[in-house]
Amino acid sequence: MKDKEQAVAQGLLRYIEQVTIDAWRYSREEAPRSLHGGTLKTSIMPDLSTLPQLCTRVFSGLEYAGYVHDGTQPHDIWATRARALRFVLNGQIIYAKHVKHPGTTANPFFERAADRIKSDLPSLFSRYVGGVL
C-alpha cells in the first residue's frame, strides 16, 4: 500500500508541476506585447518552490502588470521626478506638468491562460495520476 501512496504522491507532484508549466506558457502567449519589446511577456515566471506543499504560482514581478491585467480608472498624473511629463500625441512631442489620463481597459491575460488550461486538466490528471489509481 505504501508504494501505491508514494506513486500517487509523485504523480500529483508531476501533475501540478506540468499544470504550472503549461499555465506559464499560456500566460506568456496571452500577455500583450508591449511597445517596449515584450518586457511583460518575459517577466512572467513560474514559482515551483512550494511544489512539495502542492502549491505553485505563475506571476509577473513587474509593478505595472496588475494595471495591465485589471485596467485602471481615469486618473490624474503629475510630474514629480521632473519638471514636466513628456509624451507624443498625434506625432507631436508634448510637455505638461499635469495630465488627466483616461484610464486603460483591462487585459486579463492570466484569466485567459487559466481558461485555456481548464480543458487540459482531465487529460493531464489521467496522464500523471490516473494510471496509478
d(CA 69, CA 73): 13
| pLDDT single digits (tens) 75-131 | 999 999 999 999 998 999 999 999 999 999 999 999 999 999 999 999 999 999 988
Mean pLDDT score across all residues of the chain: 93
Q: 25, 117 in Cβ contact below 8 A?
A: no
Q: 2, 127 in Cβ contact below 8 A?
A: no
Q: Phi, psi (5° rounding) for residue 80?
A: -120, -35
Contacts of 48-53 with CB under 8 Å at 24 or more apart are 48/17, 48/20, 51/13, 51/16, 51/17, 51/20, 52/13
Q: Give pTM, 2 decimals.
A: 0.83
Confidence check: pLDDT of 36 > 70: no
